[in-house]
Amino acid sequence: MYLKILSLTAVITVMVLGVAEARDQIRIVGSSTVFPFSTTVAEQFGKTTKFKTPIVESTGSGGGMKLFCAGVGQDHPDITNSSRRIKKSEFKKCTKAGIGITEVKIGFDGIVLGNSKKGPNLKLTRKQVFQALAAKVPVDGKIVENPYKKWNEINANLPNTKIEVLGPPPTSGTRDAFVEIAMEGGAKMFPSLKALRKSNKKQFKSVAHAIREDGAFIEAGENDNLIVQKLESNPAAVGIFGFSFLDQNADKMKGAYINGVAPEFENIAGGKYPVSRSLFFYVKQQHVGVIPGIKEFVKEFTSENAWGTEGYLVDKGLIPLPKKARQEMMVGARGMKTLVMK
Amino acid sequence: MSNNFNESISELKPDLSEARLRKRYRAETRFRIYGIAAILFAIGILALLLGSIITTGFSAFTQTEIALDIHYESTLFDPDGTGKFVPLSSGNYRKVVRKSLRDLFPEVTKRREKRSLYKIISSGADLSARKYLLSNPNSIEKTKRIWIKSSADIDSLNKGKIKRSVAESERRVKNNQILWFDKLSKENRVRRTFNFTLFSAGDSREPELAGIWGAAVGSFLTLIVTLALSFPVGVMAAVYLESFAPKNRWTDLIEVNINNLAAVPSIVFGLLGLAVFLNFLGMPRSAPVIGGTVLALMTLPTIIIAGRAALNAVPPSIQEAALAMGASPLQAVTHHVLPLAMPGILTGTIIGMARALGETAPLLMIGMVAFIVDIPKSFTDPATVLPVQVYLWADAPERAFVEKTSAAILVLLLFLIVMNLAAVILRKRFEKRW
């Protein structure tokens, strides 16, 4: 009796495993920052067309590229999202695998230094951000271990509170972008480091990209919601997170001015706010026409109804491209223009 | 010698003084207080955890709805005005819904204001209007009052999660939207009902349209695969190791390895699944088949260990009696020992399954951490599972997902409690004590 049941279940399992069918659903992987936008379009696309709703995985920009460039065929994803531009090494890998890529820039994302409404108003420059967070900073012409413990030690106008910054871990695209734009940008403000950049780029990067590890910067995990919650209970701390989280929590959080510019929608869209990055997705051209619906999905994503200034993605926190850039991008994307990198 | 013996007796004489007795009683009372304090601490932490989840999650079980008088004009199905009618399912329902909303507030004329007016209702409103017409096709050219979901922000306002006292610029719901909402409220066009969507829909980017049913079905399919693979293999391994295997160095080695496997972090099984099942065997990505297979690997050691313990607990006399009556060793095991050990094995299996139900880490590697709207229908459809849904919602920026996350946790906890309760009942009712 038991043996019969056992053998029966084993047979059923084998039968189940044997089934595999051709894919009729778009598969998307990549950045967790683009995830909310990609999923919104996917849902809308599934509702309004005869195609199935695409599957969107949140793997991170790097992880997505790895899957995307692995090859052509229905086991590999059709589209990858990225919160940074494709790297040359990734492009080479893709080309080697015989993949033609269409690049679509979808908009901007601002990275915000924010704190609780109960905390002090912060007006920072990129230089001060670097001074507060770098592992090594120049003091009187020499590069030394970061000596600053309080904000007002950097500049007397800043509040008399301990430097305590919660931010994402190195695996996060937000962290990459923050380091590249805010930290490196701040480091360049020092004449000594600027000179170093010209003479020894590698050494400059090792200084500009190293975040301090003496407790002033706390890695708070990939989850931006968690950072917002921690900031709420600790008004003295400052956090690094995406603009959409500031937008959704405007009653609890405020963003620090960077170089005199507030992290607001118009400022980021207009390119005035310095710490912002572009968001992309990449389409595998070999899959267009093979997996149904890719062209229509790209069309939906690049429609004014989605990524325009009054589109539904703006409600989700996307900061749209300027009108002209949108127009150009739309033509390129719908025509499946091939990305060329030298 | 005898002298010595007398001496040691007098040394062993108990100290019966009052003081010592009191000291011993005090020590005992102290010990009990420590015990009670430890239990109270554990209960307190549990209550805090459950309390916070319930208080934030409970409101997700209701949803704010707004009554709209929708007029289903027949031109709705004749988009070009040529007399060529489209099927009822593909009419432009968004238009009629918006029109009914505008009719309620004729003073709203500016484009920007209209946009903000439309944001009162859910973006899934046209689907509700369509659903109503499809089930009541005779409503064409009639005006019907239909309850439509409000948007997540209005829902939060109605639930008091968005405070009116906050300055307008920092509030997700603007002043004019509050005015409109209050007017609707006064006309009895607002109600809070049980949120069926939460238990019938798949994932969505709109909090008011998101549900856990897709994830629950995914969990169910995944667990079936896990059970179908790990239970037979686990039981057979346990029976063989316990009743048939020779006791030598090899079986010792296997035993040590099984015990070690039970303690391996689950992410390792995910990596194994990625390397072997996905890349080598080419199984479908994000499907319950592969998720179930990976979780089966993880559950196997638990089932083998529990199975062996249960088999071991059956007194050897039973097997010996069967053998003495002429049963073959196989018959002795399958007819006598295994049925008696079954309650114990099943208990172990259920506990292993409960652990598999709560697992996310290994699924990350095989693509089950994904946004999936459609409810999975087979073992090879893309699916996600309950704990992954919790993880994805916890990461969503929309504020209304906070309560949804807690609600999903509550449902997951409910499943776990039911499974563990089943294990306890099984043990209490069927397990024999020898």
What CATH number should be reported for the domain holding residue A188? 3.40.190.10
* Residue type present at position B61: F
- Cα–Cα distance for residue pair B394/B368, rounded to 1 Å: 16
* Residue type present at position B216: A
Examine the domain organization and report whether A131 and A84 are in the same domain. no
Q: Using one digit for the tens of pLDDT, what is the confidence trace for A235-259?
A: 889 999 888 888 888 888 889 999 8
| Predicted pLDDT at B83 | 64
- Looking at per-residue pLDDT, the higher value among B410 and A32 belongs to B410
Interface test with A, best of B151, B156, B205, B221 (most A CBs within 10 A): B205
Q: Are B60 and B411 in contact (CB under 8 A)?
A: no
Cβ within 8 Å, pair B392-A25: no
Q: Using one digit for the tens of pLDDT, what is the confidence trace for A181-234?
A: 888 888 888 888 888 888 888 888 888 888 888 888 988 877 778 888 888 888
- Flag whether A149 is in a domain: yes
Interface test with A, best of B114, B373, B389 (most A CBs within 10 A): B373
Cβ within 8 Å, pair A9-B228: yes
Q: How does residue A13 score in pLDDT terms, banded at 50, 70 and 90?
A: low
pTM of the predicted protein model:
0.81
Q: How does residue B81 score in pLDDT terms, banded at 50, 70 and 90?
A: low
What average pLDDT does range B361-384 have in this prediction? 89
pLDDT at B78 > cutoff 80: no
- Flag whether A4 is in a domain: no
Examine the domain organization and report whether A59 and A165 are in the same domain. no
What average pLDDT does range B205-211 have in this prediction? 90
User: Long-range CB contacts (< 8 A, 24+ apart) of B316-320?
Assistant: B319/B243
What average pLDDT does range B309-326 have in this prediction? 93
- Cα–Cα distance for residue pair A30/A276, rounded to 1 Å: 19
Q: How does residue B222 score in pLDDT terms, banded at 50, 70 and 90?
A: very high
Q: How far is B301 from chain A (nearest CA, A)?
A: 18
This model of the complex carries an ipTM of 0.76
Q: Are A65 and A55 in contact (CB under 8 A)?
A: no
Examine the domain organization and report whether A158 and A259 are in the same domain. yes
Examine the domain organization and report whether A134 and A265 are in the same domain. yes
The phi and psi torsions of B191 (rounded to 5 degrees) equal: -145, 160
* DSSP strand pairing (A238-242 vs A101-116): antiparallel
Q: Using one digit for the tens of pLDDT, what is the confidence trace for A54-107?
A: 999 988 888 899 999 998 988 899 999 998 889 899 999 999 999 999 999 999
> Can you give A90-111 as a three-state secondary structure string?
HHHHHHHCCCCEEEEEEEEEEE
**A216 at B interface, C-beta within 8 A:** no
Rg of chain A's alpha carbons, rounded to an integer?
23
| Predicted pLDDT at A68 | 93
pLDDT averaged over chain B?
88
Domain final residue, candidates A260, A276, A292: A276
Q: How far is B228 from chain A (nearest CA, A)?
A: 6
What tokens were used for B106? 């004729």
Q: Are B111 and B96 in contact (CB under 8 A)?
A: no
Examine the domain organization and report whether A289 and A248 are in the same domain. no
Examine the domain organization and report whether A149 and A240 are in the same domain. yes
Examine the domain organization and report whether A115 and A243 are in the same domain. yes
| Predicted pLDDT at A94 | 92
Examine the domain organization and report whether A58 and A167 are in the same domain. no
**Residue range B213-430, CATH number:** 1.10.3720.10
Examine the domain organization and report whether A82 and A134 are in the same domain. no
- CA-based nearest residue in chain A for residue B400: A248
Q: How many structural domains are present in chain A?
A: 2
- Flag whether A339 is in a domain: no
Cβ within 8 Å, pair B397-A242: yes
In chain A, the percentage of residues whose pLDDT exceeds 90 is 25
**B123 at A interface, C-beta within 8 A:** yes
Interface of A with B in 243-262 (CB under 8 A): 244-245, 247-251
| Predicted pLDDT at B1 | 46
**B205 at A interface, C-beta within 8 A:** yes
- For chain B, give every domain's residue range: 14-57, 63-195, 213-430
Distances (CA, A) of B71 to A323, B86, B98, B99, B328: 37, 18, 11, 9, 78
| Predicted pLDDT at B11 | 66
| Predicted pLDDT at B25 | 93
| Predicted pLDDT at A143 | 83
Examine the domain organization and report whether A85 and A126 are in the same domain. no
- Cα–Cα distance for residue pair A10/B236, rounded to 1 Å: 12
Q: Using one digit for the tens of pLDDT, what is the confidence trace for B32-59?
A: 999 999 999 999 999 999 999 999 898 9
Q: How many A-B residue pairs are in contact by the CB < 8 A criterion?
A: 111
- Flag whether A237 is in a domain: yes
Interface test with A, best of B368, B371, B377, B402 (most A CBs within 10 A): B371
Interface test with B, best of A37, A53, A55, A265 (most B CBs within 10 A): A55
Cβ within 8 Å, pair A317-B371: no
What tokens were used for A82? 């990225």
Cβ within 8 Å, pair B395-A225: yes
pLDDT at B113 > cutoff 50: yes
| Predicted pLDDT at B9 | 56
Cα B220–B224–B229 angle (5° rounding)?
Answer: 150
Q: Which domain holds residue A38?
A: 24-108+277-334
Q: Using one digit for the tens of pLDDT, what is the confidence trace for B59-68?
A: 999 999 999 9
Examine the domain organization and report whether A151 and A204 are in the same domain. yes
Q: Using one digit for the tens of pLDDT, what is the confidence trace for B256-290?
A: 999 998 888 988 998 988 888 888 888 888 899 99
- Flag whether A186 is in a domain: yes
Q: How far is B313 from chain A (nearest CA, A)?
A: 20
- Looking at per-residue pLDDT, the higher value among A158 and A171 belongs to A158
What average pLDDT does range B332-337 have in this prediction? 92
Q: How far is A262 from chain B (nearest CA, A)?
A: 14
- Flag whether A340 is in a domain: no
Cβ within 8 Å, pair B380-A56: no
Picking from B312, B205, B271, B301, the residue whose alpha carbon sits closest to that of residue A39 is B205
| Predicted pLDDT at A2 | 59
In chain A, the percentage of residues whose pLDDT exceeds 70 is 93
| Predicted pLDDT at B240 | 93
Distances (CA, A) of B88 to A273, B95, B96, B126, B433: 49, 14, 13, 13, 66
- Cα–Cα distance for residue pair B254/B236, rounded to 1 Å: 14
* DSSP strand pairing (A142-145 vs A136-139): antiparallel
In which residue are the tokens 């563990």 written? B420
Cβ-based neighbour number of residue B416 at 10 Å: 16
- Flag whether A342 is in a domain: no
| Predicted pLDDT at B84 | 67
**What ranges in B13-119 are assigned the alpha helix state H?**
18-57, 93-104, 111-118
Cβ within 8 Å, pair A12-B228: yes
Interface of B with A in 76-95 (CB under 8 A): none
In which residue are the tokens 């990461």 written? B395
pLDDT at A42 > cutoff 90: yes
In chain B, the percentage of residues whose pLDDT exceeds 70 is 94
Q: Using one digit for the tens of pLDDT, what is the confidence trace for B171-188?
A: 888 888 999 999 999 989
Cβ within 8 Å, pair A55-B172: no
pLDDT at A24 > cutoff 50: yes
- Flag whether A125 is in a domain: yes
Domain final residue, candidates A276, A294, A315: A276
Interface of A with B in 78-117 (CB under 8 A): none
Strand partners, B85: none
Picking from A70, A69, A93, A103, the residue whose alpha carbon sits closest to that of residue A336 is A103
Q: How does residue B168 score in pLDDT terms, banded at 50, 70 and 90?
A: confident
What average pLDDT does range A281-292 have in this prediction? 92
- CA-based nearest residue in chain A for residue B405: A225
What average pLDDT does range A149-178 have in this prediction? 85
What average pLDDT does range B380-408 have in this prediction? 90
> Can you give chain A as a three-state secondary structure string?
CHHHHHHHHHHHHHHHHHCCCCCCCCEEEECCCCHHHHHHHHHHHHHHCCCCCCEEECCCHHHHHHHHCCCCCCCCCCEEEECCCCCHHHHHHHHHCCCCEEEEEEEEEEEEEEEECCCCCCEECHHHHHHHHECEEEECCEEEECCCCEHHHHCCCCCCCECCEEECCCCCHHHHHHHHHHHHHHHCCCHHHHHHHHHCHHHHHHHHCCECCCCCEEECCCCHHHHHHHHHHCCCCEEEEEHHHHHHCCCCEEECEECCECCCHHHHHCCCCCCEEEEEEEEEHHHECCECCHHHHHHHHCCHHHHCCCCHHHHCCCECCCHHHHHHHHHHHHCCCCCCCC
- Cα–Cα distance for residue pair B6/B24, rounded to 1 Å: 27
